[in-house]
Amino acid sequence: MSKGVARSTAEPQGFSRWWLRGHSLLVFIFFYAPIVVLFIFSFNDSNAVGNWKGFTFGWYEAFLDNDNVQKSIWVSVKVCLFSTVIAVVLGTASALALERFRWWGQKAFDAVLYLPIIIPDVTMAVMMLVFFGETAEWFNVIPGVDLSSGLEKLVFSHVAFNISFVSVVVRARLANLDASMEEAAADLYANR
């Protein structure tokens, strides 16, 4: 009976080890050196990239004084807060439903829940763009929901993307949770 080829788990020795470390160091330098240079020259007082005239925070001050930048930062904070709260609530509820109960269509729901994790982000963005383009008039009949605004679309898209990650993490934690803890909570009149 053939056992197959045994693979060595030992670290490279001698020249191979130093070659591997040196090659890895060169790759890291190749990737990160431009970022470090860009960061250093972002404090340059000169308009020319190669001419250092002194240290300044002027570029950052000009950037943060821009009204459009301030508005976009505020929109980002609102989207972050709203989408996080909604995704945590819905993701936790879906994790509880998938882990603690058995119901018709559970496997299909579980498969659909993993789609945002599996498909590429660009594909998800195009899918959301098509979704909002084709169904925007459907949501205008719901009182208080105006998806013609960009903020609601951003929140909806972020929630759709983040629910899966919340659900997977909470579900993994629920799988390892001792059932006696839930029974003790039920004894103290906590409901399901």
Each residue's pLDDT tens digit, 108-167: 999 999 999 999 989 998 998 888 878 777 766 666 666 667 888 889 899 999 999 999
User: In this model, does residue 17 exceed pLDDT 70?
Assistant: yes
CB count, 10 Å around CB of 10? 6
Give the pLDDT band (50/70/90) at residue 74: very high
- Phi, psi angle pair for 55, to nearest 5°: -95, 135
Q: What is the pTM of this model?
A: 0.71
Fold of 67-187: MetI-like fold (1.10.3720)
Domain map of the chain by residue range?
Answer: 15-65, 67-187
> 28: helix, coil or strand?
helix
> Residue 190: what pLDDT?
78
Q: How far is CA 92 from CA 3, 27, 163, 172, 182, in A?
A: 46, 41, 8, 11, 16
* Residue (of 170, 190, 145) closest to 90 by Cα position: 170
What CA–CA distance (Å, rounded) separates 146 from 143? 8
Tracing tokens 């998806």 back to the chain, one arrives at 147
Tokens 């860009």 belong to residue: 38
Nearest 10 degrees: Cα torsion 146, 149, 155, 159: 60
